[in-house]
A = this chain, B = another copy of it.
């Protein structure tokens, strides 16, 4: 699809310039310096030749279509240039010029026009407002960056040109090679989804690194990302797309779900994307993935020539949820035999301050051979006898290579020769134990995700027609909030149990209904005018006798009538009392990623302790159980602490069914089952109260 962009035979630089201070000069110079093997055409009506290459005034004058035209002309000249390029048959475009959507309304309009022109002729476009692209395998450096990367296996997709430049500068100093680099700029056409798909297929790319500020489409991203991550690791740094001010303000709304941070976390986790928390971590992780095999598990051996950093590493390993592996008897014996007596042959393995390269080599060897070890961290501090360069070479030699080895050469000048040797031997190197451990943890998490079982989403048999009818009736009446019986009826159609209940217009009917349902019962005011029933005294629980029902009815009418004289009171609902533990099931539709499910224990656990779990729909049974387990209060559901054990599978099934409901009905914007009363295993949980919020526009026809 992107062949002309990635492997062009002819590249034109429109706006090529003789002035070395101009972007149009830098691009041409980079293409030339990079050793591009195809035909290079500077386009400039005012010049005869630039950098030794003959110029043409425009693409039409060239007489043949180019595969790639890189456009670096002032903003107002871009549209006619694009029209000309497309007319002349150019197969792909990169627009580095800025001043479009990011600048003002006029720029945004121009950008839309340009995208339309390209789309009409199926010409793919990178940018505008970008640094360009690089394909080291094709010796193509169509950027105006100051640093050129060496060839390697890491590819970069970035929404910020400045970050691309920074990455190139950084990669050069770390000897890290790149495969492809795409600066997406304003994403008028090509976006992260297109480029991830391309890189998934690209054999030269082993690891994908991304920098994102926003997504073109959350849905599509999740699909593409999961497909890509299933083939090779994708590490992404996502920063807030809102300004700090907006973000600060939004953190005060107290909304539990719907928070962008949570949504991205859930989406990345689902898709197998490795999320980097910062710029350094992005490359710490990418370097490890590019250079080393994935670990088979989380058991780590630490090798060190100094106690302190060994302890730091062990602390970090445990904090990260990995294990400082106990070494096998055989490993310990073999180390004891070959290392000095003072050396520690438990884990961390301390090869002592005067360790020579051979001691490191045999320790790495032993850890590689130990069946109980999945990954190795090797620490070196510059002590009096230390030979960093030779030690780096010895570590590289040491042992089989099927377990990842991460090096931590601490210090500065003194260990620099060692660092260079590590890079040359494809051993990732970190300046502190903590950073190495963070990178290793990301590798472990990704390896575990790759081994995940296939996801099977259960479809439950439900009465979808009934829900459609209720929703459209409410929407027709202009109601976007559904509560009470309608809400329960919707859920009943999705196989939720609801308490038995009946409407009563006066005290006699209330008693009659209570007798039919059986005591104890609850009484709730029936009125479209009252939203917060509890606050107004419109809910009375635990009524055990006809007398109590009668008293409750009269008092409720009297008191609410006094407080809200204008409210129309229809009567009351008499309901079977629910028993069991209160939990909350919820759903909020995230603008990017769609239905986000929520679970928490009722009341204070959610409202005060914020002890909630989120997951994006659709959800599987095991993911639903995982949601329950990820709350801190999970223990209370399992029968511990003198609490009654509740039916976990019933809760999981409820989450799956609201997942299905949210997927079936896009007009449902939010839903809350609060409380959902769950009893002991084998009993049916009941929806004690529920509320739906609808989006007024948009139909739900299947």
Q: How many chain copies does the complex carry?
A: 2
Residues of B near A278 (CB, < 8 A) are 312, 316, 432-435
Contact yes or no, B239 A312, CB < 8 A: yes
Asked whether A160 is an interface residue with its Cβ less than 8 Å from the other chain, the reply is yes
Contact status of A166 and B318, CB under 8 A, knowing A277-B434, A384-B26: no
Q: Which residue of B lies closest to A211 (CB)?
A: B308
A406 at the interface (CB under 8 A from B): no
Given contacts A306-B162, A307-B162, A434-B278, contact A314 B604 (CB under 8 A): no
**Chain B residues whose C-beta falls within 8 Å of the C-beta of A126 in the assembled complex:** none
Separation of A309 and B248 alpha carbons in the complex (Å): 18
**Residue A636 CB within 8 A of the other chain:** yes
Shortest distance in angstroms between A159's beta carbon and chain B's nearest beta carbon? Answer: 7
**With A279-B312, A311-B239, A315-B244 given, is the CB distance from A384 to B163 under 8 Å?**
no
Determine if A381 is an interface residue (Cβ-Cβ < 8 Å). yes
Decide if B353 touches A162 in the complex (CB within 8 Å): yes
Give the segment of A285-293, A460-468, A605-613 that binds chain B. A605-613
Fill in one digit per residue for A429-445: 1 if any B CB lies within 8 Å of its CB, else 0: 00111110000000000
A244 in complex: contacting residue of B280, B347, B435, CB < 8 Å: B347
Q: Does A14 contact B (CB under 8 A)?
A: no
Query: Is A470 an interface residue when CB atoms closer than 8 A count as contact?
Result: no
Interchain nearest-CB distance for A440 vs B (Å): 15
CB A172 to nearest CB in B, in angstroms, measures 5
Cα-based distance from A392 to B110 in the complex (angstroms):
37
Say whether, besides A239-B315, A314-B244, A411-B169, A306 and B103 are in contact (CB < 8 Å). Answer: no
Do A318 and B247 touch (CB < 8 A)? yes
| Segment 313-348 of A: residues with Cβ below 8 Å from B | 314-318, 323-324, 326, 342, 346-348
Please state if A162 and B609 are interface contacts (CB–CB under 8 Å).
no
Question: Does residue A268 face the partner (Cβ distance < 8 Å to B)?
Answer: no
Give 1 or 0 for each of A137-161: 1 = CB within 8 Å of chain B CB: 0000000111100000000000111
Residue of B26, B146, B245 near A382 (CB, 8 A) is B146
A contacts, CB < 8 Å to B = 21, 23, 26, 103, 144-147, 159-163, 165-166, 169-174, 211, 213, 239-241, 243-245, 247-248, 251, 277-280, 305-309, 311-312, 314-318, 323-324, 326, 342, 346-348, 353, 381-385, 410-416, 431-435, 603-604, 607-611, 632-633, 635-636, 640-641
Given contacts A160-B307, A213-B308, 6 further A-B contacts (CB under 8 A): A162-B353, A165-B381, A165-B382, A165-B384, A165-B411, A171-B412
